[in-house]
Amino acid sequence: MGERLRDKVAIVTGASRGIGAAIATHMAEEGAKVVLVSRKLEGLQAVADEIRAQGGEAIPIACHAGRADQRQDMLDQALKAYGQVDVLVNNAATNPHFGPMLSIDERAWDKTFEVNVKGYFGMIQLVAGHLQQRKAKGSIVNVASVAGKMAAPMQGVYGMTKAAVISMTKTLAMELGAAGIRVNAIAPGLIETKFAQVLVDNDAIRSSVVARTAAGRVGQPRDISGGAVFLASDESDYLTGDVMTIDGGWTLA
């Protein structure tokens, strides 16, 4: 076990699988006490069991990040368990519409913004308020996407929400910097997860991505977790408002 995050408590949303589970596990390996958050408890319990089996500390809490009452209850439970929160990783996301941007219906639009933007902002409000009340430093890591930095055909509204996350990150970094609260984002490229299955399992799309990626492969969840650990740690104490692109060099082309 490492010690880069020793004495820190980290909340990780969307922690039941994929990038969120990898980040939570990696943070626990570096000594953090991890609060695992997702809508359903079942998937979280498996991640918590794995972390504990490796000697780490974690608690699973079911919470819909887009709903204020559930967010507050989650924070109350986290504080009851660990007494403080130092790190927030906003990772929970949804993308219910894959197709031309103009064909999305209002229900899918609202769901995408509720989870990907409103949920992120609501979580930051809670955790930043807690940190300010404690007069403590903290780190907020927003998982965005390369889709928020460029055109995102067939994922247009998802890309819009990730562009909003990047804008939110930069503004909150300015507003919270004097309080010692850092706000950064990670923009992953194509990562092999269930969330991205519609892309990864499409041979034409996958081959196209690999062909223009300097690393010559699709990313894995662990490729993202190292960046999150760095941003959560004191090693990045002078870094805020940044968007760390982790895409194997895909956006270089």
User: Residue 7: left if φ>0, alpha if ψ -120 to 50, beta else—which one?
Assistant: left
Query: What DSSP state is assigned to residue 31?
Result: T
* Cα dihedral 59, 77, 126, 5 sign: negative
Give buried/exposed letters for 4-29 (b at 16+ CB in 10 A, else e).
bbeebbbbbbbbbbbbbbbbbbbbbb
User: Which burial class, exposed, middle or buried, applies to 234 when counting CB atoms under 10 A from its CB (0-12, 13-18, 19+)?
Assistant: exposed
Q: How many residues does the chain have?
A: 253
Residue of 7, 10, 1 lying closest to 229 (CA atoms): 10
Backbone angles phi, psi at 43, to 5 degrees: -65, -35
Q: Which two tokens stand for residue 161?
A: 């929400």
- Catalytic residue, chosen from 82, 120, 158, 238, is 158
Q: How far apart are the first and last CA of the chain?
A: 38
- Can 238 be counted among the known catalytic residues? no
Residue of 77, 225, 66 lying closest to 143 (CA atoms): 225
Point out the residues that are catalytic. Answer: 158
